[in-house]
Each structure stands twice: as structure tokens, then as C-alpha cells.
Chains A and B, each alone.
Chain A
Amino acid sequence: MTQTTGAFEPRLARRKRVGRLFMAGFAVMSFVGIGFLAVLIVRILWEGLPWISAKFIVNFPSVLSPADAGVRSALFGTVWLIVITGLVSVPMGVAAAIYLEEYASNNRITRLIQLSIANLAGVPSVVYGILGLAVFVRWLSCGRSVLAGGLTVALLVLPVIIIASREALGAVPNSFRHAAYALGATRWQTIRSHVLPAAVPGILTGVILALSRAIGEAAPLLMLGALTYVTFVPEGPLDEFTVLPLQIYQWVDQPQAEFHHLAAAGIIVLLGVLLPMNGVAIAVRAWHQRRKAW
């Protein structure tokens, strides 16, 4: 069977042993991640679940009685924030990606822009908070409003959306573009009908990542001067607000143990907002991917 003489020394058993060793290493690493996540979720549910009730959702926070405290203002604030962030960052990000990938010629300026965007994706969120404070809160006089917060977070997640969308557009085979051009299509007709639909799954992946990050941000909003203790819901984009991460932060800061349980309950609500949002995006992506045929 195995011929050990001659020009080859296969050492098959050893090679396979090395292969198994690496496989085991990779498997352990992936289970470490999943394990920590499981511990985290179990602990949060254990602490917070008893506190989840209709009252918790509809009541405003209270510093006096933990039993009556709720996340109403934070939940509304988060929904407002995420809607504003999404409405601003998704169209802007996708548009920028289309320009960079489909229109811009590959010159020094384009490369500089691309490099800057990649760097921006790594800038700490507090820095965006300072920017938001200077530009939106002060200069554009939005005040400490949910609009200022949404715009700041939109800037924060914009690079993520641009990079993901560019990669998605770049992965669309050129043969589709050429086929469309050869039929007398303009560049925009080609993009609109063929390139963009084919890139939707990848773009949505970027959007999911970006909005998931946006929903959990606290630091830049603290920087803007968003309040942590709010007993009203924003009625319009120029109202002051708080968001779930800030509310959770405020509760964790309290000395009483009850408030820590409230924080855990708040995290469950946060996850409860995040999951359906991602679920919709994943469903749309799956639907588009089924039609992807190349």
C-alpha cells in the first residue's frame, strides 16, 4: 500500500496527525467564543428575566423605587436613534460605495478616499462624540437632541456600510456589466437593474453590522451630553433623549442590587430590539441569495 522506498517518503500518519492537531485547535477557539457568549446570555437572563414585565416596558425610569422603574424613555430613544441613523447612513453609505466602486476612476484621489474610509472605521467612537458635539450640537445648533445623536452615530457607522457595500459591489461579476452595456444600457441603468440587486445580500450584511453597532453605542452619546435619566419620550427629532445602553449604564452605576437586575433586564430589551431587526435583514438577504445564480 504505502510505498516507503524510492524518491518519496510520504509519512502519511504524521501529516494526518498534524492536520488533526490544527483542526482541534481551530475547533477549541471557536467554542471558546460561543462558550463565553452562552455564559453571558445565561447570566443576563438569570438576573434580568424576573424583572421583565409589561410594566418594565411602559414605565419611565425611577430612582426611588426599582420595582416601578421601566425603560419607556430609553426604548423610544433607541428606536428614534436607530431610525435616524439608518435613514442617514444607509443611503449615504450605499451611494458613496456606488460612486467609489462603479464611477470613480482608480487614481490617487480615489485611493486616498478609500484609505481614509478604512481608517475612519477604526476611529474610537468617543472621537465621533467629540465631532458630533462640535458640529451637530453646537455649530448646527441641534442641541442635545436625538437628531444630533442619530447623525453622530450615522457618521460612526458610515465607514462600515461603505466598506461592506463596496465589497459587495466589487463581487458582482463584470460579465453582467458587460452584458448590459452591450445592450446599449447606460451606466446607471446597468447599476440599477443588475449590479445593485446582485449586491443586495452583501450590502445588507454591512447594514446589519452597522446598525447592531449603532444600537449598542453609549460613549459618543455621553459625549454629546445625552441624558441618562429621562422621564419623557422624544416627540420629535429635536427633543432630548436617552437610549437603552445609557439607561443600562445609569442603573449599573446605582449602589442597590435591584438596579443591577434592572440593568440586566434592560440588556434583554436591547437584545429584543436587535434580534428582530437583524432577523428582517437576514430574511431579506436570504431571499436575495436564493435568486443569486452565478
Chain B
Amino acid sequence: MVDVMEPQPLATVEGPPTLLIPRPRPRRREESAKEPVEPVISVQGLTIRYGSFAAVRDVSLDIPPRQVSAIIGPSGCGKSTLLRAMNRMNEFVPAASASGKLIYRGRDVYGAGFDPVDLRRQIGMVFQKPNPFPKSIFKNVAWGPIINGYRGNIEELVERTLIQAALWDEVKDKLQESAYALSGGQQQRLCIARAIALNPDVLLMDEPCSALDPIATSRIEDLIDELKTKYTVVLVTHNMQQAARVSDRTAFMYLGELIEVDDTQVIFTKPGNRKTQDYITGRFG
């Protein structure tokens, strides 16, 4: 799946040293910033508590469609909590509670009577550590569609999904083998395949590369770049270069608060907030 040689829109953003110098540059994404796009997810004054500790405080943030939105920030800043709030996975943490609104396609996910089970079919998730089921590669991909009543041909779906996840060529001859026979990077791509097999609207990725080596990481990044043509991706990462490489929008969080959100290029070249600048230049974190 490396046939499409798309020009990487943010390839101009390089490693850390250049980040220090805000260069004057034409803002190519100016028009997209002006045009009001209907956000897929709109977080409005969301606070997430674990017991009495507020891990996310009064965050408001819009996730635009078919883009990669990155959430960055130091450890414990609440970025993973915010991500898990988007498909209500937080409720598996004991004593977690939420207040505020999280509007997905016009409906408040935290409103009364909202059922998170169907939400999670539409908002898929990839976890930090690859966590395939202890079953065959085929079943890993097929299970989600089956339990959600998929009516098409399941073999075709699995093949199509694995091709899309850039894993087909490596696994097509061993679909019935255990998913744990795969390498860590392959397992993570299988987990991505498992998530996109449901053709979700949004794909949440919680530091998907933090357990992987650089080569596996770059393959996942290439994959994310392709996935955004079809899906809305929200990516939590502690790797600033990764955010700079793959995301269109970047949100910076610190101590549970959203400090700043803007086009990735702006965040990494002329951030509006002092804290953002300190973080991306490596002064803390």
C-alpha cells in the first residue's frame, strides 16, 4: 500500500532544532481555518474526574472531519483521558465521572439515555499496547463485524480491511494462525484493521506507536496518513515529532487543561501560548 505517493502536507515541519526559529511562511491552510467546517466531535466544557481528582478540566475542542487531530502534552496531562472520553471508555475506570458536553454528530454522548455500545462501533479505538485477541488473525478482524450483525461477505471484508491496514501481504497465507505469532508492529496494524473493519466514523489512537520500534512506527504513521482520507483520526502522542509529521491539527494539554489548539504548523512554529512554546522546544515535559 505504498502505491500512492501523496505529497505530505506537513513535510516542511522538521525536527526540533528548526522548531526554535519561527520562520515567516505562507499559511497554506489559512482558508480552512476561516471556513467553518461542521466538526465531527465537539467537546464543550468537559471535565473528567477520577474520584475527586479532575484529570481533564473544562476542555472545549472541535475535531474536524477527515483530518488527523493530535493531542500532545506531558505525561499525566489528561490527553489519554480526553481521548477515552470520546468513546466513553473511561467508564471502565472505577470512580470516573464526567460533566460537560461531548457532542458527536449532533448528539450529546454524555446526555441522559445515550447508549455507549453503539457509539463504540462508530468511534473505534486503537490502544497503546497492541492487544489482539488470543485468537486467529482472521477472527481478530472478523469478530467486531460479526457481533455487530455485519450482513456482507465476511471473508471479503477481512481481506479488504487487511489490505487497507497494509497488512494483507504479510498475513494472507496465515489467516488462521494466532495473532500472537505476529511481531509487535504487525499486531498493532492488526488492531488498526480490527478497528476499521467496522468502517467507523472516527478512529481514536492512544499512543499507538509507543510500544514499537522506529521502523514499525513509521509504517503506522504512513498508515495513519492514508486512513485520514476515509476516517477522522484523533491521535494522542507523547512524541512531538510524530504529531508534527502526521497531524493536521494539534491540541496541547497541560495539567488537565487545554492550553492551545491550532493547525499543527502554527503550533509548531508560532504557538500562541508560552507554555506550548516551552513544551515543544523541550524546556519541560
Question: Which residues does A use to contact B, with CB under 8 Å?
Answer: 106, 173-186, 189, 193-194, 198, 291-294
Asked whether B117 is an interface residue with its Cβ less than 8 Å from the other chain, the reply is: yes
Docked Cα-Cα span, A176 to B198, in Å, equals: 18
Given contacts A179-B191, A182-B125, A184-B147, contact A291 B120 (CB under 8 A): no
A-B contact pairs, 9 of them (CB 8 A): A175-B129, A177-B92, A178-B127, A183-B120, A183-B124, A184-B198, A189-B147, A193-B133, A293-B178
Docked Cα-Cα span, A183 to B118, in Å, equals: 9
Asked whether B52 is an interface residue with its Cβ less than 8 Å from the other chain, the reply is: no
Docked Cα-Cα span, A291 to B139, in Å, equals: 14
Docked Cα-Cα span, A291 to B121, in Å, equals: 28
Known contacts A174-B92, A176-B134, A194-B133; 4 additional CB pairs below 8 A are: A184-B118, A185-B147, A193-B147, A293-B134
Given contacts A175-B129, A293-B178, contact A183 B143 (CB under 8 A): yes
Asked whether B194 is an interface residue with its Cβ less than 8 Å from the other chain, the reply is: yes
What chain B residues lie within 8 Å of A180 (beta carbons)?
133, 143
B121 touches A294 (CB 8 A): no
Given contacts A175-B129, A291-B178, A293-B180, contact A182 B147 (CB under 8 A): no
Select from chain B the residue with minimum beta-carbon distance to A176.
B133
Q: How many B residues are at the interface, by size bracket? A: 20 to 34
What chain B residues lie within 8 Å of A294 (beta carbons)?
134, 180
B124 touches A182 (CB 8 A): yes
What chain B residues lie within 8 Å of A175 (beta carbons)?
127, 129, 131
Q: Give the residues from 107 to 123 in chain B that come closer than 8 angstroms, CB to CB, to chain A.
A: 117-122
Question: Which residues does B use to contact A, with CB under 8 Å?
Answer: 87, 89, 92, 94, 117-122, 124-125, 127, 129, 131-134, 143-144, 147-148, 178-180, 191, 194-195, 198
What chain B residues lie within 8 Å of A293 (beta carbons)?
134, 178-180
B92 touches A181 (CB 8 A): yes
Shortest Cβ distance from residue A206 to the other chain B in the assembled complex, whole angstroms: 20
Given contacts A177-B92, A291-B134, A293-B180, contact A182 B120 (CB under 8 A): yes
Docked Cα-Cα span, A176 to B124, in Å, equals: 15
* Residue from A184, A291, A294 whose CB has the most chain B CB atoms within 10 Å: A184
B133 touches A179 (CB 8 A): yes
Docked Cα-Cα span, A183 to B191, in Å, equals: 11
A181 touches B89 (CB 8 A): yes
What chain A residues lie within 8 Å of B180 (beta carbons)?
293-294
Select from chain B the residue with minimum beta-carbon distance to A290.
B178
Docked Cα-Cα span, A210 to B200, in Å, equals: 46
Docked Cα-Cα span, A180 to B94, in Å, equals: 18
What chain B residues lie within 8 Å of A182 (beta carbons)?
87, 89, 120, 124-125, 127, 195
What chain A residues lie within 8 Å of B118 (beta carbons)?
184
B143 touches A186 (CB 8 A): no
Neighbour of B147 across the interface among A173, A183, A198, CB < 8 A: A183
B195 touches A183 (CB 8 A): yes
A178 touches B129 (CB 8 A): no
What chain A residues lie within 8 Å of B122 (beta carbons)?
184
